[in-house]
Chain A
Amino acid sequence: MYALKVENLKAYYITSLYGIERKVRAVDNVSFQVMENEILGIAGESGCGKSTLLKTLIGLIKPPLSVIGGEIYYKYDGKEVNILKSSSDLKELKWKVFSYVPQGSMNVLNPTRKIIKTFEDVIKVHLNVTNNDEIRNMVGEHLKSLGLPLEVLNSFPHQLSGGMRQRVTIALATILKPKVIITDEATTALDVVVQRGVIQLLKRIQSEFKNSIIMVTHDMGVHANMADRIIIMYAGKLVEIGSAKDIFKNPLHPYTRYLIESLPKIGDKTIRRSVPGAPPSLLNPPSGCRFHPRCPYAMNECKEMVPDLIEVEKGHKVACFLHGKEVEKV
């Protein structure tokens, strides 16, 4: 059973300067599903559209970002709800069905209010609880279950360390026990010890509440540690999806192979190679397969046609002409 289903999602940044329209195709025809009770990792270089994808998933679609096409369905009360269709549905789903831990949680807490006030705001909006004592008890219990000190509630954000702020944000995102937790670089900008704490916290929440986590990070080590399945994105497209084991043991797409090969391995002293070249501009992406200018196996058809995502093994899909000849239908 899926908790979130994305179909043919296209989200572009459209700006117009002196009448010249520019389209940045940050998310281009992406489809995938997030199952219940799984951790899905999304990996890719900077600027490949990971954060844009997440923004659309949480309904944070503000100009210049606009969704050109596609659907995003969440499971809510046994029904499928498309958040792109109605904003009142989106409002209803927020925090109860999905929540979000943003990139760089350093500045996401209001600097002039105590932490408890933000919890109060969230709970009052979504649960119709108005009694502050009741809310305090509820939040206190939640923090206790996450192993966070209760003192943070009466603190201001600047009085907390970076790691604690990140954990408070995670507590804030999980207070209503949402089905899907979407985290964007939740461990970036933290030192490795704190990173470990945050990862463990997320894992604990997941095993306790049995919800799904979508985890964006470009740290492949975190993916290896956490994710059940991994999505590899390249230049706004989904190029490979599979279980974490398949992705690490048997990467199919040349890009994924580069990513995995660049990781250090114990006992292997050969020099690690990175992907040659640089990611393409999404303003004017290459024709055909977007990876072909950097791909060592590029064939003629790669330059002209866009490969479709096909299932090679069970649950392991790849979009590459090396593995199948299907052309993407637009």
Chain B
Amino acid sequence: MNLLKRYIIPRLIQYFIVIFIGVTVVFLVPRFTPLDPVVTVLNRMTSYGAQYLDPSAIEKLKETMMELYGLKGSIWEQYLNFWKRLFKGDFGPSLSIFPTPVISIIANSLPWTAGLLVVVAILSWIIGNILGGIAGYYADRRWSKVMSIVAMSIYPIPYYIMALVLLILFAYIFPIFPMVGGYSIGLTPSFSLEFIFNVIKHAFLPALSLILIGIGWWFLSMRSLTSTIVAEDFVTYAEVMGIPSRKILFQYVMRNGLLPQITNLALQIGGIFSGSLITETVFSYPGLGQLLYMAINNGDFNLIMGIAVLSIIGIATSALLIDLLYPLFDPRVRYR
């Protein structure tokens, strides 16, 4: 009971406040831009040859669109309406792919992005941290120095170059992996083995490019965290006690070093809802990043807002989860 009152409830309140403020900002920003989406669409329609429309018909069209886009009434009415629709999961129709609802466009792209990026985030976290911890603990071994040099040379490579090189190497020169798409054209999405294998094959290069960079980052940060923990008294004392070094590495050094890394992983997983634009562009992979890019280019406010709200909820939720789970990893924050 005390735990609920002092630990969980304050964090839940904080969670809702963050989402509230974030969503409000998402609502306000497009309304302060000089672009008027309705005028944009009307202009487009006129340029497509609808010049001879009746002025009253145009007026009617305008009104309908205002309502569709949630631009009707004073800003307060719009705001209340926006929340009402949000609770129903309704972000309105997309403006560029009219009249498909935003929510179903996102639902189409989300599995691709989420599937790829969650796997990538977790894999590179695990591999990078274990390697970094080992390299930091045995810092004066030769192989540890070699590993550090490799990580330090991979990490600063601009991501798009890495992605392009991988694509050219393994899809063009050695055509092992497909060049574009999430799955082969002609296949219908299903849970058959063939389809799943096809998806993995398509996702391999994008995942590899992201994992390489990710491992570089996790490796370097974990190695520097470890190198300070190795100098702590409890590690020295464990060595004096004769505890085997493998046990010291995992139970004494890494266990403490991973604490900040867990927080970082949670934030990274929360951040995947904004997609990964460069990966998706280079590998022509269907996903939220490309969707967002297209939405921004086309002034598709509803779609932008939909992705932004999703992203806010994603980051806030994973921050909340890590906050609630953190005492399991670090006993020092228990019940505080």
Contact = CB atoms under 8 A, between A and B. Distances in A.
A76 interface: no
Interface stretch (A94-102, A199-207, A313-321): A94-102
B234 A108 contact: yes
B81 interface: no
B158 interface: no
Contacts of B329: 112
Interface in B235-287: 236-244, 247, 251-252, 255-256, 259
B240 A121 contact: no
B142 interface: no
A114 to B, nearest CB: 8
A88 B241 CA distance: 14
A100 B236 CA distance: 12
B232 interface: yes
Interface in A60-106: 60, 91, 94-95, 99-100, 102, 104, 106
A110 interface: yes
B256 A112 contact: yes
Interface in A36-60: 58-60
Given A112-B256, A158-B331, A158-B332, A94 B234 contact: no
Contact of B251 (A99, A108, A109, A110): A110
A156 B331 contact: yes
Contact of A112 (B233, B236, B237, B255): B255
A305 interface: no
A150 interface: no
Given A104-B233, A108-B233, A108-B234, A113 B240 contact: no
Interface string A144-175: 00000000000010100000000000001000
B78 to A, nearest CB: 50
A122 interface: yes
B330 interface: yes
A107 interface: yes
Given A110-B252, A111-B332, A94 B237 contact: no
Nearest to B253: A110
Contacts of A129: none
Contacts of B251: 110, 113, 117, 121
A272 interface: no
A94 B332 contact: no
Contacts of B238: 110, 118, 121
Contacts of A118: 238
Q: Helix, strand, loop or mixed for chain B's interface? A: helix
B334 to A, nearest CB: 8
Interface in B143-179: none
A190 interface: no
B242 A113 contact: no
B241 A110 contact: no
B236 A110 contact: no
Interface size band for B: 20 to 34
A125 interface: yes
Contacts of B236: 60, 102, 108
Contacts of A158: 331-332
Given A60-B236, A108-B234, A91 B331 contact: no
Contacts of A102: 233, 236-237, 240
Nearest to A101: B237
Interface in B320-336: 329-332
B222 to A, nearest CB: 16
B31 to A, nearest CB: 48
A245 interface: no
B241 A122 contact: yes
Contacts of B237: 100, 102, 108-109
A121 B232 contact: no
B241 A107 contact: no
Contacts of B332: 111-112, 156, 158
B252 A94 contact: no
Nearest to A126: B242
Contacts of B240: 58-60, 94, 100, 102
A107 B331 contact: no
A103 to B, nearest CB: 9
B331 A121 contact: no
B234 A111 contact: yes
A122 B239 CA distance: 11
A126 B243 CA distance: 9
A94 B232 contact: no
A99 B330 CA distance: 29
Contacts of A112: 255-256, 259, 329-332
Interface in A226-253: none
B243 A121 contact: yes
Instruction: Give the interface centre of A95, A112, A117 by most chain B CB atoms within 10 Å.
Output: A112
Contact of A110 (B234, B242, B244): B234
A107 B256 CA distance: 13
Contacts of B232: 107
B232 to A, nearest CB: 6
A110 B256 contact: yes
B208 to A, nearest CB: 34
Interface of A: 58-60, 91, 94-95, 99-100, 102, 104, 106-113, 117-118, 121-122, 125-126, 156, 158, 172
17 contacts: A94-B241, A100-B237, A104-B233, A108-B236, A108-B237, A110-B234, A110-B238, A111-B234, A111-B256, A112-B255, A121-B238, A121-B243, A122-B242, A122-B243, A125-B242, A125-B243, A172-B241
Given A110-B234, A111-B234, A122-B241, 7 more contacts: A107-B233, A108-B236, A109-B237, A112-B255, A117-B251, A121-B241, A121-B243
Interface of B: 232-234, 236-244, 247, 251-252, 255-256, 259, 329-332
Can you list the 10 inter-chain pairs with the closest CB atoms, starting with the nearest? A94-B242, A107-B233, A108-B237, A156-B331, A108-B233, A110-B234, A121-B243, A158-B332, A112-B255, A108-B234
